[in-house]
């Protein structure tokens, strides 16, 4: 099948770019490094949209690429279905805009080629996690993404960054250990590592103690990776200490790819989501939503506040997916997309403030609207979006999640979602008031608006924020509905994959 | 520089190192080249190759080891090795499937057989050997800068 | 079964080290012990009774061998463990440079 040939490119392109940049970065000017990495991430974006077109045209629900020509379940395969494509588009939009933003922003750090090397390795890991159809391969890509993100958090090598990175690395490694043991158990139980084959074997076998045990291990592992509330301690440190463009990447897509996507893929398509697992997911989601937003209210460090909101918004996503109904999953995935857009935008804004005014403390800044009009405008859009003000994308996804809660009879969770949304609004009104409104301080008279590349990234993201609600229109809804179908079909994933293999 | 008694370990260690370091390197290369026939392969052989350089560094101090393999060269070789491995996989991509073994596989249990596997082993051993050496070097340099 | 339980015990020793120890280096050692325990567990899963090592050699026919796949996977996992350990150790050395201590109770500039 020729269409499937684009699937390995999502791993090949960033991997090649990473090592190519690390090889030539020392000999050429940093402008050329920018151009190479910009081109590479643009290519990835094109391919992810192309995948959408290919998937729309072909009759099957999944495309399968057999690595080395080996037939699954014996060889490793890569799968592109609705959910993978949805995630690929999300990740690569953010990655492209973050690379554009980094042209200017990363100037203050000394070693730009090393930054791009680590960045593209992280992108390799994320794209790999999304496209792979093999459980152990997923673990390997997950570790590639995690290890590069540990290094990226410590990129500035200041005391705080090192401390955050150490904490993040230890927590991440413990999470990986749990995931590895879960994979080992599943392999011992089913004698296969291919996710589709595993789903087939597991549905044929009578249920016993192994599946709940593995569920608990995966819940702990991926819960740590996606920073759900009892496991969230590393996130505010790591995400607020990293350079802003990396924070945007970590908060925007990394926790969703490594945490929520892997969790949803394994629980819905492989193990089979039982009622217990779903109710645990819903509870953890609601808990993260409320606890993190309350913790966020008292923060004065802008990036730390945003990091706490990431936990809270991940709670919405997990709550939506945990409902298990098609409407709930639609809400969860739509919120995942929206959150990656507006949270990246908010982190890029905080980076822009840091770039111009050299501060992250909300009490220090005041009246920046006059000097940074683009940053202030895009920040207003993103803040309204995250708080769920009607015409923007965040409103629609939160509405769908709340409706799905009510539809399934979980009035309490619906209420929690509303309360968390109101508290989010309160906390972002604080950001607006202290950072952008009010009188301009004396020391900020001389600051200038950020360079055009940074403006371009922020304005693009703000545009997607405004237009995001259009994804629910019938002509665009295939983008979300294909992804929802994959999750709500559950173990029919195996049929889709093997159907595509045998063709 | 190699015989300076102030740098590195004692004379006994230095003499033994001088005798064994080449053998260790050769053993690593042997393991890499026979990776498709016997236990071992790219990673194990690469670790042994790296250990021969680490051995040199421990016995004679870091300057002697750095003269054989400088920091920038190590970093470049590591990227080249990764690109080599990727391009071996890419040959397969254009000749059928990603990572497919398109070269003639030859007779089993011969040194020149198994298609792309020995080539991949070579790339991996270079990557692992140089990478491990670079990790050790980075830790040594960190230690040095702390002491100043 | 006893062997699996011993693996679990080893894993718990590592986890105890990560969670309870205050010295950065001891935490890293705990992480290492956890990694060994999980690799050992995976290798043990692959063992077949009276199986021999899955190496094909000339003029030999292997009738019963242990499962070769986990051995390849564990090798990958060891490499990942190596990378994590190297990275974490270099971060720990840098932390020692900045804070002058390995004690995590004194490394707490990030609060809130």
The residues spanned by each domain of chain C are 2-53+65-99
For chain C, what percent of residues have pLDDT higher than 90? Answer: 33
* Average pLDDT of span A476-497: 84
Buried b (16+ CB within 10 A) or exposed e, A141-170: bbbbbbbbbbbbbbbbeebebbbbbbbbbb
> Domain map of chain B by residue range?
11-147
Residue A299 predicted with pLDDT over 90 = no
A44-58, A119-133, C39-53 — most confident range: A119-133
Q: Does A38 touch chain B (CB under 8 A)?
A: no
Reference A459, options A97, A107, A102; nearest CA is A97
In this prediction, residue A478 carries a pLDDT of 83
Q: What is the pLDDT of residues A94-103, one digit of tens each?
A: 999 999 999 8
Alpha carbon of C45: minimum distance to chain A alpha carbons (Å): 6
Instruction: Say which of A12, A23, A66 has its CB closest to residue B90.
Output: A12
In this prediction, residue B147 carries a pLDDT of 62
* Average pLDDT of span A148-152: 92
- Token pair listed for A204: 């044929």
Q: Does B106 touch chain A (CB under 8 A)?
A: no
In this prediction, residue A53 carries a pLDDT of 85
Is C94's CB within 8 Å of B142's CB?
A: yes
Is B138's CB within 8 Å of C90's CB?
A: yes
Is C75's CB within 8 Å of B43's CB?
A: yes
Q: Does A42 touch chain B (CB under 8 A)?
A: no
Q: Strands, E, within A275-362: which ranges?
A: none
Band the pLDDT of A319: cuts 50, 70, 90.
very high
CA distance linking residue C54 with residue A452, whole number of Å: 60
Band the pLDDT of A209: cuts 50, 70, 90.
confident
CA distance linking residue A297 with residue A430, whole number of Å: 9
In this prediction, residue A149 carries a pLDDT of 92
Please report, in tens digits, the pLDDT of each residue of chain B (148 residues total): 566 777 777 888 888 888 998 999 999 999 988 888 888 888 889 999 999 988 888 888 877 778 888 888 888 888 899 998 888 888 878 877 777 777 777 777 777 777 788 888 899 999 989 988 888 888 887 766 666 5
A405 or A365: which carries more pLDDT confidence? A405
Is A68's CB within 8 Å of B93's CB?
A: no
A75 or A292: which carries more pLDDT confidence? A292
Q: What is the dotted CATH code of the domain comprising C2-53+65-99? A: 1.10.287.3510
Reference C107, options C24, C31, C28, C20; nearest CA is C24
* Average pLDDT of span A66-77: 82
Band the pLDDT of A59: cuts 50, 70, 90.
low
Alpha carbon of C58: minimum distance to chain B alpha carbons (Å): 7
Q: Does C89 touch chain B (CB under 8 A)?
A: yes
Q: What is the largest CA-CA distance in chain C?
A: 67
Q: Does B140 touch chain A (CB under 8 A)?
A: no
Instruction: Say which of B135, B143, B145 has its CB closest to residue C86.
Output: B135
In this prediction, residue C26 carries a pLDDT of 92
CA distance linking residue A29 with residue B74, whole number of Å: 21
Is B97's CB within 8 Å of A20's CB?
A: no
Is A8's CB within 8 Å of B76's CB?
A: no
The number of C-alpha atoms within 13 Å of A445 and in the hemisphere containing its C-beta is 2
Q: What is the pLDDT of residues C75-94, one digit of tens each?
A: 889 989 989 999 999 898 88
- Measured between beta carbons, the chain B residues lying within 8 angstroms of C55 are 38-39
**What is this structure's pTM?**
0.93
Q: What is the largest CA-CA distance in chain A?
A: 72
Q: What is the pLDDT of residues A171-206, one digit of tens each?
A: 999 999 999 999 998 898 888 888 888 888 888 888
Is C90's CB within 8 Å of B142's CB?
A: yes
What is the number of H-type helices and E-type strands within chain B? 5, 0
Q: Are A241 and A160 in contact (CB under 8 A)?
A: yes
Q: Are A279 and A219 in contact (CB under 8 A)?
A: no
Residue of A13, A69, A117 to mutate, testing the B interface (most B Cβ within 10 Å of its Cβ)? A69
For chain A, what percent of residues have pLDDT higher than 70? Answer: 99
- Distances in Å between the Cα of A34 and the Cα atoms of A44, A113, A486, B10, C11 are 15, 9, 37, 50, 44
Q: What is the pLDDT of residues A237-253, one digit of tens each?
A: 888 888 888 999 998 89
In this prediction, residue B2 carries a pLDDT of 62
Is C58's CB within 8 Å of B109's CB?
A: yes
């Amino acid at each position: 099948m020729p269409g499937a040939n684009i699937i390995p490119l999502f791993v090949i392109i960033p991997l090649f770019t990473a090592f190519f940049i690390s090889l030539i970065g020392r000999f050429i000017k940093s402008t050329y490094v920018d151009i190479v990495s910009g081109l590479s991430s643009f290519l990835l974006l094109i391919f992810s949209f192309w995948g959408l077109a290919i998937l729309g045209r072909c009759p099957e629900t999944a495309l399968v690429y057999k690595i080395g020509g080996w037939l699954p379940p014996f060889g490793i395969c890569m799968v592109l279905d609705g959910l993978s494509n949805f995630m690929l588009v999300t990740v690569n939009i953010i990655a492209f805009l973050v690379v554009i933003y980094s042209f200017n922003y990363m100037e203050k750090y000394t070693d730009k080629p090393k930054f791009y090397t680590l960045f593209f390795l992280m992108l390799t890991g994320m794209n790999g996690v999304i496209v792979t159809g093999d459980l152990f391969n997923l673990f390997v890509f997950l570790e590639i993404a995690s290890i590069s993100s540990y290094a990226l958090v410590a990129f500035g090598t200041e005391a705080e960054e090192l401390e955050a990175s150490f904490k993040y690395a230890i927590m991440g490694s413990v999470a990986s250990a749990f995931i590895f043991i879960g994979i080992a158990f599943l392999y011992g139980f089913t004698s296969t590592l291919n996710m589709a084959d595993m789903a087939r074997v597991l549905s044929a076998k009578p249920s016993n103690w192994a599946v709940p045990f593995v569920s608990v291990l995966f819940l702990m592992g991926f819960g740590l990776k996606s920073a759900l509330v009892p496991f969230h301690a590393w996130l505010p440190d790591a995400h607020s200490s990293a350079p802003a463009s990396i924070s945007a990447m970590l908060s925007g897509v990394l926790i969703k790819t490594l945490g929520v996507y892997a969790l949803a893929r394994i629980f819905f398509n492989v193990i089979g989501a039982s009622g217990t697992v779903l109710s645990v997911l819903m509870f953890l989601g609601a808990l993260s939503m409320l606890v993190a937003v309350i913790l966020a209210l008292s923060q004065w460090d802008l990036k730390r506040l945003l990091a706490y909101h990431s936990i809270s918004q991940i709670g919405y996503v997990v709550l939506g997916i945990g409902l298990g109904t098609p409407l709930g999953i639609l809400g969860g995935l739509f919120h995942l997309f929206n959150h990656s857009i507006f949270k990246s935008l908010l982190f890029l804004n905080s980076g822009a403030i840091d770039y111009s005014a050299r501060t992250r403390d909300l009490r220090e800044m005041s009246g920046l609207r006059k000097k940074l009009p683009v940053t202030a405008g895009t920040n207003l859009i993103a803040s309204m979006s995250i708080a769920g003000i009607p015409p923007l994308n965040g409103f629609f996804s939160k509405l769908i999640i709340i409706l799905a809660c009510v539809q399934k009879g979980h009035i309490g969770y619906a209420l929690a979602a509303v309360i968390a949304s109101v508290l989010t609004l309160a906390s972002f009104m604080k950001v607006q008031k202290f950072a952008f409104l009010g009188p301009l301080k004396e020391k900020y008279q001389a600051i200038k608006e950020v360079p055009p590349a940074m403006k371009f990234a922020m304005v693009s993201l703000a545009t997607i924020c405004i237009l995001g609600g259009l994804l629910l229109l019938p002509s665009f809804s295939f983008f979300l509905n294909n992804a929802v179908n994959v999750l709500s079909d559950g173990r029919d994933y195996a049929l889709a994959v093997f159907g595509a293999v045998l063709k | 520089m190699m015989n300076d008694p102030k740098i590195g370990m004692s004379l006994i260690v230095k003499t033994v190192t001088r005798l064994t370091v080449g053998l260790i390197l050769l053993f690593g290369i042997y393991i890499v080249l026979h990776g498709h026939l016997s236990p071992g392969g790219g990673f194990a052989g690469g670790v042994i190759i790296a250990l021969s350089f680490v051995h040199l560094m421990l016995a004679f101090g870091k300057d002697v080891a750095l003269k054989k393999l400088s920091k920038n060269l190590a970093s470049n070789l590591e990227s080249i090795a990764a690109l080599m491995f990727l391009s071996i996989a890419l040959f397969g991509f254009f000749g059928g499937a990603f990572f497919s073994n398109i070269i003639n596989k030859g007779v089993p249990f011969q040194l020149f057989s198994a298609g792309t596997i020995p080539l991949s082993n070579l790339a991996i051993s270079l990557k692992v050997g140089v990478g491990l050496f670079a990790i050790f070097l980075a830790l040594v340099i960190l230690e040095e800068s702390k002491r100043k | 079964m006893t062997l699996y339980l011993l693996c679990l015990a080893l894993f718990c020793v590592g986890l105890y080290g990560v969670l309870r120890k205050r010295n950065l280096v001891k935490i890293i050692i705990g992480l290492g012990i956890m990694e060994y325990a999980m690799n050992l567990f995976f290798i043990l899963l692959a063992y077949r009774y009276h199986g021999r090592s899955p190496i094909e050699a000339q003029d030999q026919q292997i009738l019963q061998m242990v499962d070769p796949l986990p051995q390849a996977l564990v090798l990958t996992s060891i490499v990942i463990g190596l990378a994590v350990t190297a990275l974490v150790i270099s971060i720990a050395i840098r932390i020692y440079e900045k804070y002058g201590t390995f004690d995590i109770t004194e490394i707490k500039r990030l609060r809130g």
